[in-house]
Amino acid sequence: MRKSKSFMLMLILMSILLIGCRSNYHTGANTVDTKEQTPDTTEETPETTEETSDTTEKPSNTTEQTKREIPYTRFENCLYVWEDKANPALLRGYVTLSENIENKTYYYGETDSKLLEKKANYPDVVDESHSKIKKAVEEETKRLREMFEARVKEALDSANSIAQGGSIAPYEFDNTWQVIRNDEKMLTIVSSIYSYAGGAHPNLYKEVTSYDPIKGNKLTIESITTNEKEFRQFVEDALNAYVVDNNCSDYLFGENGYKEAFKNWDKNWWIINGYLFVGFNTYDIAPYVAGPLVIPVDLTKAMDLLNDYGKSLVNVAD
């Protein structure tokens, strides 16, 4: 009996010892893991500090980028899409402008069959104190209105002729405008004509007009340069270099196409943030799918070819 009790006591003691050893093993493992993880955290601290330093330096870069911002979206990581963002604040810059809306719907004869929807919007200088620029904008608006109305008339004649044989999908002609620069040095207005007159797709045509808002003159290349011939060549060379440097040729018409267009780059140009932007309409240098395109030219590289007025337009701090 005593032997049995002694045997039972020994079993109980061995069980207690085994449980104690298991507990110490697991506790020890967790402790070791914790000690091993702590140094890793300490080692990562310097890297975090370095990243913080890098972040601190970024605002100066951001400020510089803001000054030299290109306000257009990239097309195929190459050229830029010529889409001017609406900025109502620019209607009230150095010159205050308002909208002059002239809409009209045309029908076939005395029927309710719609032939053409015309939506026309033209800029109007409100400030009577800026009489010179007001007159210049009015003269340009007169030219644009006559061009737009001529296109509408041609399309309306066609629509009337087609409608004699049955109903047609109504044609659409929209004339809109955007102010993209408005300060005491330069007023720039982009006019856009959207048209659909049957066919596979609509069309978009854009024109840019810039003014010296104080003198009231329309700006030309001669207005901003000391050597017009050399400046024209500088821009043409820059456009060709841009295509090569950015691997854009695959998205454009052949060299004979876009290089010829580059020679006549002065049809649509404007200056913002130290860049001279050159605008090309649909089919000027690329297929329809690309739409109107923009190529930036860094004018800070051509300061010696600009006169004092031209240099003042390039000042990126403004």
pLDDT single digits (tens) 101-139: 999 999 999 899 999 999 999 999 998 899 999 999 999
What mean pLDDT do residues 156-176 have?
92
- Report helix, strand or coil for 174: strand
Average pLDDT over residues 34-42: 41
* Confidence class for position 191, pLDDT limits 50, 70, 90: very high
How far are the Cα atoms of 16, 104, 256, 283 from residue 251, in angstroms, in the given order?
82, 38, 14, 12
Q: What percent of the chain has pLDDT over 70?
A: 78
Of 140, 202, 130, 203, residue with least CA distance to 177:
140
Amino acid making up residue 85: K
With beta carbons less than 8 A apart as the criterion, state whether 271 and 68 touch: no
Angle between helices 255-263 and 228-245 (to 10 degrees): 150
Residues 215-237, mean pLDDT to the nearest whole number: 98
Q: Poorest-confidence range of 65-79, 260-274, 284-298?
A: 65-79
Q: Taking CA 81 as the corner, what is the angle to CA 76 and CA 82, rounded to the nearest 5 degrees?
A: 165
pLDDT of 317: 53
Which amino acid is located at 31 in the chain?
A: T
**194, β-bridge pairs:** 174, 204
Spatial contact of 175 and 193, defined as CB atoms under 8 Å apart: yes
pLDDT of residue 164: 87
Q: In whole numbers, what is the pLDDT of the chain averaged over residues?
A: 83
Domains of the chain, start order: 87-219 (3.30.565.40), 221-318 (3.90.640.20)
| Predicted confidence (pLDDT) at residue 26 exceeds the cutoff of 90 | no
pLDDT tens-digit map of 54-92: 433 333 333 333 357 899 999 888 999 999 988 999 999
Q: Which residues contact 296 (CB under 8 A, 6 or more apart)?
A: 70, 80, 242, 275, 276, 277, 278
- Given a cut of 60, whether residue 163 has pLDDT beyond it is yes
